[in-house]
Chain A
């Protein structure tokens, strides 16, 4: 569905350098990115501010022409076959409205129906589905400028789906939404992906979006891809440690001599112990058995590192690597 090879995009930026002089500098916003996305996948594209996410998205959707490298989306070259591409994909920018500001939502949809040449029955069916799932009913006749952010985002998503695209690209779709609106949108997108098979590519700063929606995660920083794979694999890659939290019936000295345990943190005077262990040396089950042999266990839990942690460690690893070189 998406094929990206050695993609690069530079921007010439000029800065004030003294009284009338300007200094020109070239920055590479995207610096040699390659990846593939197969039909039906849901991929999360994350990275810190200025990492190059939006720039990549703009090249995939035909807005920006790459400086070098190749892109194919839905079988076409986005910058050369822009209109062809526009019929096949849907795009949502969290920070940029595609609706007509002074028209009621319904009229915007009608215009898009004409622009994308959607047949009347298709249009009616698709709109009805979105109206139901995204609960657009109450504000269909409200001018877009009067909608709240959450309402408008639901409108934007609907607008991007009226022509039934095979790929939906979303740049920060949940930005600024409250928890409930985010959840509703995620649920809708998850269903779109699993039931309809629409391919999803989304950027976000909210890692819950990824957890909920994207089996595959791509991490980018300074224009290059740091990691790409299933969340679980990335987790194992950056942090071989898992943590077993045990609540003991009675306080005990630190259980740091059990096989595989790398560090121990005590709480409540030794009644609760956080045992970090190497997943390649022992298993949670073996460790639990070992703990039970030493003390009476009241409760226990195995904790995975938070997704934020995983991403943070990926950035750190890259920066450490850069310093070593």
Chain B
């Protein structure tokens, strides 16, 4: 489907956006400040202690940066799903169903929030910093892993986003739940999972496969064994997990859309 239709749609959205250039810059700034706030939390934390769940500050930063970049990339597209409850409540979802295109890609292309690129960008800056200050053994394998990880992470996040938002076809207030899951999983993945208590860890690592976004790949990059004793190969299977999540999300979405009921007027 990458034959230019969505490129055209996005391009059209872009033209609409650029008419508000001032607010665009302001938005970018706000994003960067918010991101800075999260970083400050990590740094303040390490002012008091030297290790967190068996990880040094630069190692934590690597986990944080991988998660942040992945989330930023997923936010760029899946973030539009936040508008889904409005589409459902107002019945404008009808219009998406009348076009010979998938509803999910249409929703994702319904806006191109350039301001969110700020998040990807600052994630990459922190990632660069963390890579320079950790002992990463550079081999073709680790370079490949580094390139694939944020993409797989973005797919995992987007999949979680789609799964959570599917709830909106049944529950009018489903967005609250969906937001808790998506933003919650971002916060979770930003820290080594070893800092969490047992049940939360298992839930977030495997049920919501957040640990594959940053934690396990970071272990592989650092060539570090998991303090919790997970096998090393888990660091390499993020793309597989991403494919699974994406498949599950696709099936769930298709099922959910069949429960769309529109509005009475």
Interface residues of A (CB under 8 A from B): 11, 50, 54, 58, 61-65, 79, 82-84, 86-87, 91, 93, 95-98, 100, 102-103, 107, 110-111, 114-116
Contacts and interface: CB of A to CB of B under 8 A. Distances in A.
A102 B5 CA distance: 18
B226 interface: no
A40 B100 CA distance: 23
Interface in B12-42: 12, 15-16
Contacts of A50: 264
Contacts of A64: 260-262
23 contacts: A11-B261, A62-B98, A63-B260, A64-B262, A65-B258, A65-B259, A79-B258, A83-B102, A86-B98, A87-B100, A91-B98, A95-B265, A96-B92, A96-B94, A98-B98, A100-B12, A102-B16, A103-B12, A110-B8, A111-B9, A111-B12, A114-B8, A115-B100
A274 to B, nearest CB: 41
Contacts of B261: 11, 64
B4 interface: yes
B101 interface: yes
Which residue, of B91, B98, B260, has the highest number of chain A Cβ atoms within 10 A?
Answer: B98
A63 B101 contact: no
Contact of B100 (A61, A93, A116): A116
B86 interface: no
B100 A83 contact: yes
A64 B94 CA distance: 9
B97 A82 contact: yes
A79 B97 CA distance: 10
A128 B258 CA distance: 38
Nearest to B110: A100
B48 interface: no
A61 B98 contact: yes
A63 B98 contact: yes
A96 B95 contact: yes
Contacts of A107: 12
A190 to B, nearest CB: 24
A64 B97 CA distance: 9
Contacts of B12: 100, 103, 107, 111
Nearest to A160: B98
A64 B261 CA distance: 6
Interface in B247-265: 258-262, 264-265
Interface residues of B, number: 24
A51 B184 CA distance: 45
A157 B8 CA distance: 22
Nearest to B101: A115
Nearest to B265: A95
Interface string B222-265: 00000000000000000000000000000000000011111011
B91 to A, nearest CB: 7
Contacts of A97: 95
Please list the 4 inter-chain residue pairs (A to B) with the smallest Cβ-Cβ separation, ordered nearest first: A86-B100, A83-B100, A102-B16, A114-B8
B100 A58 contact: no
Given A63-B98, A79-B258, A103-B16, 15 more contacts: A11-B261, A11-B264, A50-B264, A58-B94, A63-B94, A64-B261, A83-B102, A84-B100, A86-B100, A91-B98, A93-B94, A95-B265, A100-B12, A114-B5, A114-B9
A84 B16 CA distance: 30
Nearest to A78: B97
A97 B5 CA distance: 20
A253 B259 CA distance: 68
A65 B98 CA distance: 13
Interface string B63-107: 000000000000000000000000000011011011111100000
A64 B169 CA distance: 12
B14 to A, nearest CB: 11
Contacts of B15: 103
B253 to A, nearest CB: 13
A65 B262 CA distance: 11
A91 B12 CA distance: 23
A19 B18 CA distance: 49
B97 A62 contact: yes
B143 to A, nearest CB: 37
Contacts of B5: 114-115
Nearest to B98: A91
B260 A83 contact: no
A115 B265 CA distance: 27
A139 B259 CA distance: 39
B9 A63 contact: no
A79 to B, nearest CB: 7
Contacts of A82: 97
A68 B61 CA distance: 55
Given A58-B262, A114-B8, A86 B99 contact: yes
